[in-house]
Structure 1
Amino acid sequence: MGTYSNDAINQLKALIDQVEEPLKRTYQTVHQGYQAETLARFLKAREWNVTKAHKMLVDCLNWRVQNEIDNILTKPIVPTDLYRAVRDSHLIGMSGYSREGLPVFAHGVGLSTYDKASVNYYVQSHIQINEYRDRVVLPTASKKYGRPITTGVKVLDMTGLKLSALNQIKMVTIISTIDDLNYPEKTHTYYIVNAPYVFSACWKVVKPLLQERTRRKIQVLSGNGRDELLKIMDFASLPHFCKREGSGSSRHSEYANDRCFSLDHPFHQQLYNYIKQRSSESETSQPIKQGSFHINMPEPAVEGTEIAKTIESQMHKFEKGNGISGSLDRLKIKDNSDHRTRNCP
């Protein structure tokens, strides 16, 4: 980091050092010992404006306290069948690590339906994955590689996108807004794979709306991206939908048992068992009851809403003008610098 960056980090640190409990305690949970990297993330999200970054971080800390986020990893979603339904309809998982030690998170953008549980369960589960990543996965990787690892890479599978998926934009927007405001700059690179024909045209509409820094993070790969991704990770770390030769999803391939979205995958087994163990060790432990962990839902940013409407309008043009029935190419991207939630077709 340059002198300008270091000066901004030092200024922000001086301001954050003045916060009192309980904000100070939850701030420790956020930075996990990597203060400079954490402060830099919030500064990047606000174009290195110290005043705006300070407000963003304090707002984040207040959100965490008000919603008891520090305790969310002691709140398992039960019964297990309900959690399995959440996992089967919100397709996200961790498939491995890049050669640089960055965790690889896979997202089944096109096949996620969000129709097996209430909004609160999906939000709870998403935040639990975020917190497990930040408190367990990233610190473990940092120790292993002997350097701070505070970001990961995301591989977004566009297989199966349909026009009906527009109905899920509200759910995706809620999750993305939570990430934008409270987990900024956690993704080093977005890799887009299995993008259908209409993606390129819709991408032309959305791309100019993104910040340049965000555009540089996005790489649209040919087919399932297998060959390109093998340049940065070993075969074992590839998401299952990238392991087939050529293009297309491997949803029904010989790698179906390696689906990192499934509750049976080692990542989700470790995560779920970790939460159940933390719950049993909690001083205030009570018999686990069914019921979601309610989070105050943020208002989506105006910019994100406008982008979502632009995408929807573009897709309807495709449907009417090209006879493409039920086809939608939507890509979820976050630009944390200005609260924007992106759903790029």
Structure 2
Amino acid sequence: MASIELSEKYDNYDYPIEAPEPQEGHSGNLTAEQQAKVHQLRMLLEAEGVTERLDSLTLLRFLRARKFDVELAKQMFLDTEKWRKETKLDEILPTWDYPEKPEISKYYKQFYHKIDNDGRPVYIETLGGIDLTAMYKISTAERMLTNLAVEYERVADPRLPACSRKAGHLLETCCTIMDLKGVTLTKVPQVYSYVKQASVISQNYYPERLGKLFLINAPWGFSTVWSVVKGWLDPVTVKKINILGSSYQSELKKHIPAENIPKEFGGTCECAGGCENSDAGPWHDPQWARPAKWEQKADSAAAPAAAPAPAPAVAEEEVATDAAPAAA
């Protein structure tokens, strides 16, 4: 097993790129065949005209998501690039604003808040209040899903790189808390409708980002449903999912420090202005935070072009003999 071979052209990491423990198919624990498939996938994508996001860690995530089947990983990557262009995500990202978030949060909270014991960003969702009719009067399905995608981009950079710097090793996944309190049978269709749309984005375009998932306040009978559903899922994914009832607090605190858990979920944190609005985490700590690459690119594009250097003085006779205009 070996570390990943870095590409001079695409790999420019300013954070650790190896996990603390060997994980199959991850940087630091690759077979020669897996390493060769990273190179192969990059070459195939370049042949398709792809020039962005070809760094080794990104390619490895797509390969792992498709069990290192290069053709399937290539198709997944191309589908993602097509979706990015259709949604104009790269154009939207640097200037995205979501002023309706406080109103949407009355029905559906989504926020990142500090880190778990492993140093990963903690992501929290509350599903019980979802009312699509009311929410679509505040925003649109398109804007809500765009905001979700923007947050995924911000997870990739700057959140996870900052967490990796603080932890001293590579972190590529998040710890998710999904609160099912209030999800009744009558609400299931609406909750399922939205979650299904959101899941398409996460599964198809942002593979290998789930570290742990805690489903808390799971309603009565959910465990029975889960015993059936988990048979349809990849065993690797099943291991990451924990179903907890209303007495979830003690189990949650085994994985996340109490001071990092909002008080409403059994922790002790009470951020000024509300934990759901703070976005607290290493990504805002000057010791670990760095500008995201998409921010740097946007700043570079916005910078005024340097004034052209004055043309050197030439003799009058030279002008007469070389009157062809300079190339534009």
* TM-score, normalised via structure 2 length: 0.69
- 1:229 matched to 2:248: no
- 1:87 matched to 2:113: no
Residue from 39, 50, 53 that aligns with 1:23: 50
RMSD: 3.4
CA contact (8 A) 1:86 1:121 kept: no
Residue from 207, 218, 223 that aligns with 2:230: 207
- The 1:257/1:112 distance shift into structure 2, 3 A limit, reads farther
CA contact (8 A) 1:106 1:239 kept: no
- Residue 89 of structure 1 and its aligned partner are, at CA, apart by 3.0
Counterpart code for 1:55: Q
Identical positions, percent? 23
Aligned position for 1:292: none
- The 1:4/1:233 distance shift into structure 2, 3 A limit, reads closer
Point out 4+ residue stretches in structure 1 off by more than 6 angstroms. none
CA contact (8 A) 1:155 1:193 kept: yes
Which whole-Å CA distance do the structure 2 matches of 1:226 and 1:203 have between them?
20
Aligned position for 1:106: 124
Counterpart code for 2:252: L
Counterpart code for 2:50: L
- Residue 13 of structure 1 and its aligned partner are, at CA, apart by 2.9
- The 1:22/1:147 distance shift into structure 2, 3 A limit, reads farther
Mapping of 1:1-345 within 5 angstroms? 1=24, 5-20=31-46, 23-25=50-52, 27=53, 31=55, 35-36=56-57, 38-77=58-97, 80=99, 82-114=100-132, 115-116=134-135, 117-165=139-187, 166-243=189-266, 259-261=274-276, 264-267=277-280
Which whole-Å CA distance do the structure 2 matches of 1:129 and 1:18 have between them?
29
Which whole-Å CA distance do the structure 2 matches of 1:84 and 1:237 have between them?
22
Which whole-Å CA distance do the structure 2 matches of 1:143 and 1:4 have between them?
22
Give the match's secondary structure for 2:106: helix
> How many residues are paired up?
262
- The 1:88/1:22 distance shift into structure 2, 3 A limit, reads farther
CA contact (8 A) 1:12 1:39 kept: yes
Which whole-Å CA distance do the structure 2 matches of 1:181 and 1:111 have between them?
26
Which whole-Å CA distance do the structure 2 matches of 1:259 and 1:207 have between them?
35
Structure 1 or 2: more helix by fraction:
1
Which whole-Å CA distance do the structure 2 matches of 1:5 and 1:220 have between them?
34
Which whole-Å CA distance do the structure 1 matches of 2:274 and 2:227 have between them?
31
Deviations 1:230-256 (Å, cap 9, x if unpaired)? Answer: 2222112124442169xxxxxxxx969
Counterpart code for 1:57: F
- Residue 177 of structure 1 and its aligned partner are, at CA, apart by 0.5
Deviations 1:23-69 (Å, cap 9, x if unpaired)? Answer: 312x15xx5xxx23x33322222123222112212221232234322
Computing the radius of gyration from Cα coordinates, the structure with the larger value is 2
Give the match's secondary structure for 2:218: coil
Give the match's secondary structure for 1:150: coil
- Stretches of structure 1 that go unaligned for 5 or more consecutive residues are 246-253, 286-345
CA contact (8 A) 1:109 1:157 kept: yes
Counterpart code for 1:106: I
Which whole-Å CA distance do the structure 1 matches of 2:30 and 2:300 have between them?
43
- The 1:159/1:15 distance shift into structure 2, 3 A limit, reads same
Give the match's secondary structure for 1:23: coil
Which whole-Å CA distance do the structure 2 matches of 1:212 and 1:42 have between them?
18
CA contact (8 A) 2:112 2:279 kept: no
Which whole-Å CA distance do the structure 2 matches of 1:207 and 1:45 have between them?
18
* TM-score, normalised via structure 1 length: 0.65
Which whole-Å CA distance do the structure 2 matches of 1:124 and 1:88 have between them?
19
- The 1:177/1:105 distance shift into structure 2, 3 A limit, reads same
